Amino acid sequence: MNGLSIALIQTNTTVGALAANADKMVQLAHKAAQNGADILVFPELVLSGYPPEDLILKQHFTEDCRKQLHRMAKELPADRLVILGSPSGAHAKTYNAAVVFHGGQIAATYHKMLLPNYGVFDEKRVFLAGHRAMVLQYGAVRIGLHVCEDSWFPDEAACALLKPAGLNVLINISASPYHRGKLGVRENVMRQTALAVGAPLLYCNLTGGQDELVFDGASMALNAAGQVIVRAKQFADDILHVSLPMHLAATPSPTELPMVDLCAIEPKASASTAFPVRIEEPLEDLAEVYEALKTGLRDYVGKNGFGRTVAALSGGIDSALVAAIAVDALGAQRVVGVTMPSQFSSQATRGDAMKLANNLNIEFHTLPIQELFAAYRQQLADIWAGMPADSAEENLQARIRGNLIMALSNKFGWMVLTTGNKSELATGYCTLYGDMAGGFAVIKDVPKTLVFELARWRNRQPGGAVIPPSTIERPPTAELRDNQKDSDSLPPYEILDPILERYVEHDQGAADIIAEGFDPETVRKVVRLVDLNEYKRRQGAPGIKITPKAFGRDRRMPITNLYR
């Protein structure tokens, strides 16, 4: 064999949909084989979906995974080498594995050695770690196997054991979630690993959304010098064909490779097709974030079986951006807008809500809340007698709106999209059972300053502006009392967001943030708000992770917490 033709098949599967996931892989494998690929590679845990979380602790789940693997062995192209990710093993002894198929059977199974247990990852909770590396002797070609984290630490055993193996190529199957800037980080890490093992590295990643996580694909191949030679699309299913000429290195015998399982597989066929080089250009920053939000919303709605969604449109920028993302992700026919004005709602915001709905061509309803608000206050009048108006009356309006939109959800089966951003959730500038009520928080991890950037970016796209310019230009306001502005309660967002980034995402203390030049009183106020509002965030809807540290998945703080 003078060369290898390899297909990196990045695909979007659903956690728990074992039979459907298996069927999809079989179909894609035959398609890639017909196009001339010798080796067919799928992502990490593609059979179970990622992350399977505590499903792995259910013995019947891992047994059903095993049954699907044995079914696939008979249905995958027998004359090709197929590598895919799946749970492997039995209850309490389950591994995150790369399963190798050839000749109508399972030819080898590699167990992931490095289990991530930080941020969004919790693999040590459900998987055992492997302790042996694996090399496939595919005819005259030596192929090393890695599963995701194995390639992230070139000095650890997963890489070190493969360095003397005389590899012709290292294949990494991954489920690497997206966050802003992750692609550059990922490419740099893979470059270091390719250099460390002295061989080309092929990286196959998942696509699609799973609860809070989005997988961005962008599978790639790097040569032994660490240069990207091909790259797949972002946020889309794709088959990336790689042609690798093989310059065979001296290959040690198995006895010279302690702690390495060497599996010999004789090729049944060698198409050795030469494929054109394809390097997909990465999306620019704002386009990438927007696509991640679209993907996360589309798959959360679709995979959970919802037909339509509904969002409360206040005339403000947050709800406008959420509605635009929803229409772009799902289509206008699957998005409903509802405005619920009170006596504090201005004509400008009412008009902007209607303009937005018209621009997006979505179904739109108006449900005024003045009479309901008056009825609630009348009911509470005796208990509240003599007490001045405060945040209780403000929150009451938000909770009336929450009740109304949840009633629509209950009656019609629409999923409610909440519209709170990361800056509001961080500081508690939101109402439990009010504007926080709903099924999915689209911009939960999007700071307010980024909300403005994304809205302006969306308006520059082909087709013209959909978000009314006045919505973007108007000072942010909750409109729960006369002449209210967000800046009455919070620092300006251009000051607030950098403080939040340092405290939430970088884990800096107040003293360190103040030392960077921020006003001490402002910093202490922001830190206090973040600490006090953990109980609210704990009760909020799930939302799409787009920053390195999102609330919930990444940042897990105790509610009862007196550390200051």
- The label of the residue with tokens 């790369």 reads 98
- Token pair, residue 447, equals 């700071």
Between CA 69 and CA 10, with CA 31 as vertex, the angle to 5 degrees is 65
Amino acid identity for residue 78 in this structure: A
Distance of alpha carbon 4 from alpha carbon 13, whole angstroms = 27
Question: Helices (H), strands (E): how many in the chain?
Answer: 16, 20
Distance of alpha carbon 345 from alpha carbon 348, whole angstroms = 8
Distance of alpha carbon 271 from alpha carbon 247, whole angstroms = 18
Distance of alpha carbon 310 from alpha carbon 409, whole angstroms = 8
**Is 98 in a helix, a strand, or coil?**
strand
Nearest Cα neighbor of 245 from 224, 227, 267 is: 224
In whole angstroms, how far apart are CA 467 and each of 310, 329, 439, 479?
A: 17, 16, 23, 19
Q: Identify the helix (H) or strand (E) that includes residue 102.
A: strand 93-102
Nearest Cα neighbor of 234 from 223, 246, 252, 220 is: 220
- The label of the residue with tokens 């360190």 reads 512
With beta carbons less than 8 A apart as the criterion, state whether 215 and 296 touch. Answer: no
- Is 3-278 a CATH 3.30.930.10 domain? no
- The label of the residue with tokens 């018209």 reads 358
Q: Where are the domains of the chain?
A: 3-278, 286-485+533-538, 491-532
- Token pair, residue 179, equals 């966050």
Which sign, positive or negative, has the C-alpha torsion 352, 356, 357, 358? positive
Distance of alpha carbon 90 from alpha carbon 77, whole angstroms = 27
- The label of the residue with tokens 């709170």 reads 420
**Is 519 in a helix, a strand, or coil?**
coil
Which amino acids are annotated catalytic? 44, 112, 148
Which of 1.20.58.1290, 3.40.50.620, 3.30.110.30, 3.40.190.10 is the CATH number of 286-485+533-538?
3.40.50.620
- The label of the residue with tokens 């009336």 reads 400
- Tens of pLDDT along the chain (564 residues) come to 557 899 999 999 999 999 999 999 999 999 999 999 999 999 999 999 999 999 999 999 999 999 999 999 999 999 999 999 999 987 678 999 999 999 999 999 999 999 999 888 999 999 999 999 999 999 889 999 999 999 999 999 899 999 988 899 999 999 999 999 999 999 999 999 999 999 999 999 999 999 999 999 999 999 999 999 999 999 999 999 999 876 554 466 655 677 888 888 888 765 567 788 899 999 999 999 999 999 999 999 999 999 999 999 999 999 999 999 999 999 999 999 999 998 887 888 888 999 999 999 999 999 999 999 999 999 999 999 999 999 898 999 999 999 999 999 999 999 999 999 999 999 999 999 999 999 999 999 999 999 999 999 999 999 889 999 999 998 877 666 677 777 778 899 999 999 999 999 999 999 999 999 999 999 999 999 999 999 999 999 999 999 999 998 888 888 888 887
- Token pair, residue 363, equals 């179904």
- Token pair, residue 367, equals 């449900």
With beta carbons less than 8 A apart as the criterion, state whether 315 and 342 touch. Answer: no
Nearest Cα neighbor of 4 from 350, 248, 351 is: 248
